[in-house]
Every structure is written in C-alpha cells, then in structure tokens.
Structure 1
C-alpha cells in the first residue's frame, strides 16, 4: 500500500513544541514577543492564525532560523507579481494628458492608433535640430537630473513625473543627431527612465514601474551601457519585496549578481538578496549577503566596469551615507529582531539629509515599526507624529505598506498616544 504523504507540522503545535523545548513558559515568550499570553495560547491551539509579524518574532525568539515562520499561513492570497505591458517597438508615441485639476496621465500609444484617432488634435512641436549642441544638452540634462532627484525627495511623484517623462523623450530624440555624444545621451536617458520607474512604483503602479524599467534597459543597451539590465533585476526585486515574496526577491537578486559586471550593481544585488533572506527568516544568509554588499560597495569605482558612461548618474540611492547599515536595520526588523533593528535605525536615520523627506519618511516609519514591535508603543507613536508632514508630502505607496503594518501593531495597544495617532493613520490604511 502507498505510504501516506508526509505532512509538514502546523504552526501552532510547532510553536508549542519549540517553546517547551527551550524551557519557556507562555509568560516568558509573551515578554519576548510583546504579544499577550492569551493570544499566544490561541495560536498554539490553532484557534487563531499568527500574523506575519508574530510568526517572525516567535521564530527569532526560539532560534528557529526561519523554519517556524515558514509554517505561518500567508495573511491573504497574494496575486502574482505583475508583468509589464508589451514592449515598445520604437515607434510608439508617448501621450501625456494634463487635466485642469492638476492630475496627469501617461500612455504609450502606437503611432497608427494616434493617426486613426485624428492627427488634427495633436500639436506637433517639431524635432530637435541636428546642429544642436549635444555637449551642452548633456551637461544641462545631467544637472537637471540631480535637481529632479532632489525634488523627488520632497514632493509627490505626480509633480515630478511630467517633466521627467518629457526630458527622457527629449534625450532619446536628441541622441539620433548627437554624433559622438549619442551613447552618453542614451545612457542618461536610461537613468531618467529608471528613476521614472521608481517614482511610478511610489505612486502605486507596479505594472507601470516595470514598463519604465524595461524602457530604461532598452535605452541603456542602445547607449552601450549593459549594467542597467542587471540593475533592472534589482529594481524588480524591490517590487517583489514589498509584495512579501521572499523567494522571488532572492531569485531576482541572484540573477542580477550573475549578470552584473560592476561591483556597485553586484553590491546592490547582494543587499536586495539579503532583504529577501530576511523576509524568509534566514538570519545567517541575510548577514552573509549584507557583508558581501558592504565589501562590494566599498570597492565600487575601482574597476573599469564601475566606470559610468559620461553624463550618467550613479546607480542606486543618493541620500544614504551608509546604505548597508540602513538596510541591516531594515532586515533585522524583518528577521524578528526589533530591538536590534531599532538601535541600528536610530543611528542611521540621524544621518539622513534634512531635505530628504522621502528617505526620512521611509526609514523613519521603519524605525517606528521596529520600536513598536519591541514594545515601545508610545515612543513609536511619537516618532511617527514627527513624520506626518513628510509622509503626506511625498505620497508614497511603498511607505503606506509599512504604515498599514504599523497600524495593525498599534491597535493591539490602545494607549492615549495610539488613539491620538490613529485618525491620521486611518487616511492611509
């Protein structure tokens, strides 16, 4: 007779088994994870499903190295990661609509569709003159990009995307007549497009973010800059990270490391892989990748592959003085070690530039999450209260993901500070 298939243990009974094996009482575990004994008892008896946060905290407290957290059921069905719309054939017309109420929309439309709809409604502005000073354009566009990145740190995507899209189109068109500056213009256009993809993700459109990332890869390849193809996988890994897909995040980051030639992109890929391992509860693998990331990013620029084409901005963050340490704090929280995470994030957020509102809100909310998970509820509320203006200003969909997680944690502790913060949080969750 066929043997019955081996059934993996359920979370509740396995939690109880590990707790007793460590000699912990429910009260002891409750103090470690900052959940009530009553709730832990219900989880152990399978009367209540554990939250993702509780599963990670218990996994860390019991030294399960991710094995316990892996048994927790997903909080809800997670749809597969989006795939970008079909690629550009090079003849698409980029249509941007600017409404009187200030809203803006963008859509790539096949030229044939525009002509069929009636070209009389389209006002042609002409093409760049062949004799345009490409060197001057490159210098100016490079300077503008630095300004746009700073602007993106202090305002919502909707205000920055229209000029970025227009500038990307101008660079792409100008490259056709740029002679020896063609490669540099296309490489810079690819950086614009990659930044647009990130801002589109910030606005909540993952599919649009992937479309722009693909355009960035095409532009970079046309300009002889293949490294962006590897970095595009790191960017895709950010989308799967926020969707809670640890396995896909790790896979994308590993592919990026294999494809990349430069230490910088390999370092950023190792950093993303560490975040994926943290989601899966793999402390050892996470720390190993973070150490590799630190080594690679420290040596970035020392090899020919790390030399960006003329006019191309640096790939990756421009506001973190020590990105690996900041991401270490991020990972420690996902590993169920909120006290350690809070200590690191306290130190690293103090180094953020005062005008980098988006980074302040992003890592500040992460810092508050860590303090809340460590049981420091009122302190977490005070941290968020100081970030409300910055968070409102940057209108970030990814920061909203963490705000939802924070709200779930805070609602278990109805203190006065929590009650004062919940009305503002309600506008996000």
Structure 2
C-alpha cells in the first residue's frame, strides 16, 4: 500500500535522479552497471528494475539489498544521506527562496563548465570556475547550518575543478593549493566522496612528479571502502593505481589493475559529470591509459596499437583528451622510429593544445620535437618544429 504522504527518503530518491536528468530507465541502467560483474547476470530484466524504482519513489516500500547499495553507488551518497526518514541537507532544494535558486543555478553551471572544459579546455573554462568560487565564498560568509553544508559541497566541487584546470595549464603549485582547499571544504561539509576524490586528484599530481610510492599510497587510502564507491569512481582509482605500478615497472600488476577497472567503467558519458565523479572513466578512456602505461613500461609498439584503437571510441565531447591522446601517440611513433608519422600526429595534437590552452599537451609535443631533432630535414618534422617555434613566439 502506498502511504498517504510520500516519505522523505522516497522524495530524495526521486530528486537525486531528476537532478542528474535521468529517466527511471536510465537509473536502472546505471544500477546494473554499478553492480559487481559476477552479479549482473542474476539481475532481473530492465523493465522489472524500472517497476521497482517507481515503487521506491512512490514510497511503497524501502529498498533492500542489493538495491540499497546500488542507489548509494550511482548517486555517490551514503545510506544516511539517502535513506534517512527525515529531510537532510542533501535534499534539493536545500535553501530557501532566491538563495536556493542561486545555488541550484551554480550547480547547473558547474556541469556546463565541466563539459566546456572537455570540449574547449582550460583556456575557455578557468575564469568561469574562479568567478563561481568567488560567489560561493561570499555565500559562505553569511550562511550557517545545513545551508552552509550545501554551499560547502558545491564549493568543494568547484575548487577540485580549479585544481584540475591549473594542473592542465602546468600550474602545479596552484593545482595543489586548490586540491587542499577542495579537501578542506569537503571535510567540513561531511562529503566523504569528495574527500576521496581530492585524494585521487593528489595522486594524479604525484604521478606528474613521478613519485610512484605517493601515487600508490594515496590510491590505496582512497580504496579502503571501495565497495561503497560509485562504480566509475572506483574505475578511475584503479587505473590511477595502475599508473603508480607502471612507474614502478610492475607490468603484471599494472595490467591486472586496468583489467579490473574495466569491470567498473562508465558505459556512456556526456562529458558533464552528471553521473558523478569518475564518469569520464569509460572503456575507451581506460584503454588510452593502458597505452600510456605501455609507454611508461618501455613498450612503445603496444602503446601505438593501444592509442590508435582507443581513439576510435573516444567520445567527441572529450576534445582535449583527444589532443592528449594524439600527443601520446606521436611520442610512441617517435619511440618506434617513425619520425614522419610522429611529426604529423604531433602537429594535430599541437593544434588542440593551442586552442585549449593545455600545457600538458604542449609539453608532450615539445618532447617529441626534441626527440626528432636529427630528422629535421624531413618535411613533416620541419613542419612540427616550425609550428612549435611559432607557438612559442
């Protein structure tokens, strides 16, 4: 029997789904994807899961296992946040009147800025992120209690985005500062998943500085409660662990971790992070990272094959990632003694680096140019060198 008044937890389930612009059938698909691989074959058909979701959102009965855990994974929230009998700060809208509208607008703007970064890069995104952080910092000066926690959660998201954007523009000091700020805000808000995600960001920064022990330490700390993490976040952490093992020269462990990451990978993603942290971690992304690891392990021929195959399946929204993949492919071609192919692909990567403002891409392409110095008489190699010289002017 459906209760006369829909319980707070049922309204919350519906609100969290709608906040992500998912249909009930979309949510059913995410639940199946979030389930352990060995359990997926035992799941009922999609229509049956949709009927369950409808019952839950009407408050007909409360989810039991495994659906209770799957809800937490796909929404990236704890059981307490989702299934408390009374309204909680995570329920939308958290704030009253126009203030609530402003916060909801800033939430939506964050998704748009994430997509903008994936399409256009940090040059066209970083200013907007800092402008929104300034607004949120102003709100934090005057709000208290549950309103403050709601603002803190959103501010932590923006700060983590700032960390990533500064990292992509080669400003590692600023990236580390914003990662710390994101962690502080997330901790104050009680946002455990964001705290975990800031540790992921730190591990990436340690990867850039080639500190495998720190990479692995941070990732293992993040994976302590792996069963409570949303599936794509778990996949992202596993592939980051693989990078740490590649830096250590541990080929077998690295490849095993990437294989495991595939069992948790996101199926599809629109590039706006509506599916939560790590939603970029699709199968194509993981294979690009496998190719990066092959390069680190000194197996450039395997890296070439990996980059070429994975790039065919990379979503068009990830234009900056395409540039990074092209740069990696150029480096791999150079390593196997194919200077003209390396230079031609490097020119394509350089175009994306220029348009996006990604220093990471530019750094890799520059290293390719240096490695091809003895082939400068070849037209393609000369073109790459001239393009880089022009870019530096």
* Match 1:217 to one of 167, 172, 183: 183
- Mapped partners of 1:255, 1:211: distance in 2: 20
- Mapped partners of 2:145, 2:220: distance in 1: 37
Over 3 Å counting, the alpha-carbon distance change for 1:252 and 1:404 in structure 2 is: farther
| Cα deviation, residue 250, structure 1 | 2.4
SS of residue paired to 1:204: coil
| Cα deviation, residue 204, structure 1 | 1.9
1:139 counterpart = 2:104: yes
Over 3 Å counting, the alpha-carbon distance change for 1:264 and 1:183 in structure 2 is: farther
* Match 1:170 to one of 135, 143, 156: 135
SS of residue paired to 1:352: coil
CA contact (8 A) 1:157 1:203 kept: yes
Pairing of 1:226-241 with structure 2 (within 5 A): 226-241=192-207
| Cα deviation, residue 214, structure 1 | 1.2
Deviations 1:140-165 (A, max 9, x none): 22221122122223445354223212
CA contact (8 A) 1:371 1:377 kept: yes
Q: Name the counterpart of 1:384.
A: 346
Deviations 1:174-222 (A, max 9, x none): 3654875554432222111100011111222211111111111122223
- Mapped partners of 1:219, 1:338: distance in 2: 42
Q: Name the counterpart of 2:151.
A: 185
Deviations 1:269-316 (A, max 9, x none): 2211111221222111111211222234469xxxxxxxxxxx976213
Number of residue-to-residue matches in the alignment:
290
Greater Cα radius of gyration, structure 1 or 2? 1
* Match 1:206 to one of 163, 172, 178: 172
* Match 2:251 to one of 263, 276, 283: 283
Deviations 1:230-289 (A, max 9, x none): 222221221222223333322322232236641443432221111122122211111121
Gaps of 5+ in 2: 1-94, 268-272
Over 3 Å counting, the alpha-carbon distance change for 1:319 and 1:272 in structure 2 is: closer
Pairing of 1:30-429 with structure 2 (within 5 A): 132-155=97-120, 157-174=122-139, 177=143, 182-258=148-224, 261-262=228-229, 263-297=231-265, 314-316=276-278, 318=280, 322-414=284-376, 415-426=378-389, 427=391
CA contact (8 A) 1:134 1:178 kept: no
Which structure has the highest helix share of the two? 2
| Cα deviation, residue 407, structure 1 | 2.0
- Mapped partners of 2:306, 2:239: distance in 1: 16
Over 3 Å counting, the alpha-carbon distance change for 1:338 and 1:317 in structure 2 is: farther
Q: Name the counterpart of 2:28.
A: none
CA contact (8 A) 2:342 2:368 kept: no
CA contact (8 A) 2:236 2:281 kept: no
CA contact (8 A) 2:324 2:349 kept: no
| Cα deviation, residue 373, structure 1 | 1.5
CA contact (8 A) 2:285 2:314 kept: no
SS of residue paired to 1:200: helix
The RMSD of aligned alpha carbons is: 3.0
Over 3 Å counting, the alpha-carbon distance change for 1:298 and 1:197 in structure 2 is: closer
Deviations 1:96-123 (A, max 9, x none): xxxxxxxxxxxxxxxxxxxxxxxxxxxx
CA contact (8 A) 2:265 2:282 kept: no
- Mapped partners of 2:374, 2:346: distance in 1: 17
- Mapped partners of 1:375, 1:205: distance in 2: 32
CA contact (8 A) 1:404 1:428 kept: no
Which range moved further: 348-357 or 142-151? 348-357
- When the two structures are superposed, what TM-score results if normalisation uses the length of structure 1? 0.60
Over 3 Å counting, the alpha-carbon distance change for 1:222 and 1:134 in structure 2 is: farther
- Mapped partners of 2:146, 2:289: distance in 1: 40
